[in-house]
Amino acid sequence: MALRLRNRWKQGERARTLEDVATVSAANAWRVACNGVLSLENEGFETRTQYQRLDVIEEFVVFLLHLTDHQVYGKFNEEERAKFITAMALRLAGFVEENRADNKAPEDLQHLTPADFKRIFIDKLNARNAVYAECSYSPIEGPGFKLMRAFADWVSDALGPKNREWVIDQILTIEGPEAVEKYTASLDALLAGSDDRAGPGKEGPVRPMAED
């Protein structure tokens, strides 16, 4: 089944806000992450539990959130950019909390609450971004090798030591580039809608989100 991402807006009653775009972007990032995990499993890189799947999903969405910050640079002013990234990060943290709550934790993690996992995710996001910030990114070519390699290493760590080098190669050559292409295309399409209506730094008629 083809991966379906929301990438357009239509006329309606509710005006789109910057938070609306962040919410849609978070949902798209989560879908891309889930698709990445499924693709890895289809290639034989199996996860043992739903909690381990969520560990891998978290690495994907943190990576995609970092790319989002690069993509919106220059499109929003600094206040809007910070507001957008914060809103998207909090929505992703909400997805983490909801999904951890819906699945039984391994015995060694059962003392943690879903809210604990939300906090752990935010700590992880900050730690990963501190490393990603030291890596190169081109608006034209996308993430540099060092950035992709750091992402691949963390996905490999989440999957475990088995077939580590093969996992890293799979991320670098296939899953990483595909995730980048699919997600950034959807975000570009959402942001392009701001060219003819009110939004961050724009003037004109406001258009709301398209429904699924």
Q: What is the CA radius of gyration of the chain?
A: 17
Whole-prediction pTM: 0.87
* Phi, psi at 103, each rounded to 5°: -130, 145
In angstroms, rounded to a whole number, what is the distance separating the alpha carbons of residues 114 and 100?
6
Q: pLDDT tens digit string along 60-116?
A: 999 999 999 999 998 899 999 999 999 999 999 999 999 988 887 777 788 888 889
Q: Give the pLDDT confidence score for residue 189 in this predicted structure.
A: 87
Confidence band for 3, pLDDT divided at 50, 70 and 90: confident
Closest CA to 187 of 68, 20, 95, 86: 68
The conformation of residue 131, written as its DSSP 8-state character, comes to H
Three-state secondary-structure class, residue 140: coil
Confidence band for 204, pLDDT divided at 50, 70 and 90: very low
Q: At which residue do the structure tokens 């289809």 appear?
A: 42
In angstroms, rounded to a whole number, what is the distance separating the alpha carbons of residues 55 and 51?
6
Report whether pLDDT(7) > 90: no
